[in-house]
Structure 1
Amino acid sequence: MHPISAFRFNGYVIVSAEGMLTDVHGVMPESLKFPGDLAFFSASLDRADLIVHGKYSFEDQPNSPRRARIVLSRSIKTLATDPVNDKATLWNPAGASFDDACNHAGISGGTVAVIGGPVVFEMFFDRFDVFWLSQAPHVHLPDGGPCFPGVPAETPEQILFRHGMRASEVEILDAAHDVRVTAWRRV
């Protein structure tokens, strides 16, 4: 067993003006994909030791098959190796701990990149060291799927703040579209 402090948890999401991650059909639309954000996201995942996401979230990048990952799944009782990706551990949090999932994946420490969806983010809200919130303020998805449970009643920023995080540095990722990423750091 390894202490949870052996891990550094980073979250990543890009959202519309309303805090939405997907369109009305539950798919991340092309309008939320910007080269600057994709480059930031890809470089961040390349530095991570482990990726954690739900079964509908993935990064779909050239390095994706080489990345160790844990995929939340309710279709198994505890843990299993993904039958189509030997770098992926399927994990049912109702049947096994995160520590058990990491052991199954062969990861004992380092940076964990949590990339969604909403339920997965919610599981790690109180563990995040940094949450990288990318925002595309000119993209509107009023009937889309929220990035976090509780959006749009609360903004993503309010939810991160409520979980002990504070906005820190901001980086412009696409000046023409005013896309920026804000690091929300645990205080």
Structure 2
Amino acid sequence: MLANADHVMPDELKFEGDKQFFSAALDRADLIVHGRHSQEDQPNSPRRSRIIVTRTVDAVARDPSNPKGTLWNPAGATFEAACHQAGFDSGTIAIIGGPDVFGMFMDRYHTFWLSQAPRVRLPGGEPCFPGVPRQSPQEILAAHGLRAGEAQILEPANGVSVTPWRRAV
């Protein structure tokens, strides 16, 4: 789960090591993609170019509330059209969720970083991917051709880790 039953990431799911890993990864990205309810709140957030997946536009439009933002409705335009509108033609893209956004890119990921906090339970929470909990996140990633690499421990005291899932080349 990536959020509780109210679709909010609770404090018990926030770990300093994971936040640092996430922030550093976003600093390396050239473009951020997320749904309208997902967000990132780091000091560099306002400087990041982003595509926000939403149904509030017909196809692609500038975000009137964010000069570095592009609004994209996948039902009305391709991802490539959204990238063009955002002024992005090559580089690293970070997909930061939510579950439907993660699901849209399953067959396009080069690497998906799966963070886990095994001691946190969020009954009735929002799953990280469509298909969870019927299948585990690992089963879903594997079904889309990704293979687990070596996990990094981010918070030893809490068992928090991140595992790269990479597409075989």
TM bucket, shorter chain: over 0.9
1:108 aligns with 2:71: no
Q: In structure 1, how many angstroms separate the alpha carbons of the residues matched to 2:64 and 2:95?
A: 22
1:168 aligns with 2:152: no
**In the TM superposition, what whole-angstrom CA distance separates every residue of 1:5-49 from its partner, at most 9, and x where no partner exists?**
xxxxxxxxxxxxxxx111010101111110000000000000000
Normalised to the residue count of structure 1, the TM-score between the two structures is 0.89
- SS of 1:146's partner is coil
Aligned to 1:77: 58
Of 41, 47, 52 in structure 1, the residue corresponding to residue 28 of structure 2 is 47
Q: In structure 1, how many angstroms separate the alpha carbons of the residues matched to 2:136 and 2:17?
A: 23
User: What is the count of residue pairs matched by the alignment?
Assistant: 168
1:37 aligns with 2:24: no
- Runs of 4+ deviating beyond 2 Å: none
Identity %: 61
TM-superposed CA distance for 1:95, in Å, is: 0.8
- SS of 1:90's partner is strand
- SS of 2:92's partner is strand
Of 94, 109, 125 in structure 2, the residue corresponding to residue 128 of structure 1 is 109
1:181 aligns with 2:167: no
Which amino acid in structure 2 is aligned with residue 147 of structure 1?
Answer: C
Of 121, 126, 132 in structure 2, the residue corresponding to residue 151 of structure 1 is 132
Structure that is richer in strand per residue: 1
Structure 1 spans left out of the alignment, 5+ residues = 1-19
- SS of 1:51's partner is strand
**In the TM superposition, what whole-angstrom CA distance separates every residue of 1:136-167 from its partner, at most 9, and x where no partner exists?**
00000021010101000100000000000110
Q: In structure 1, how many angstroms separate the alpha carbons of the residues matched to 2:108 and 2:165?
A: 12
- SS of 1:128's partner is coil
* Root mean square deviation, CA, Å: 0.6
Structure 2 spans left out of the alignment, 5+ residues = none
1:95 aligns with 2:82: no
Q: In structure 2, how many angstroms separate the alpha carbons of the residues matched to 1:174 and 1:119?
A: 28
- SS of 1:145's partner is coil
Normalised to the residue count of structure 2, the TM-score between the two structures is 0.98
Which amino acid in structure 2 is aligned with residue 75 of structure 1?
Answer: T
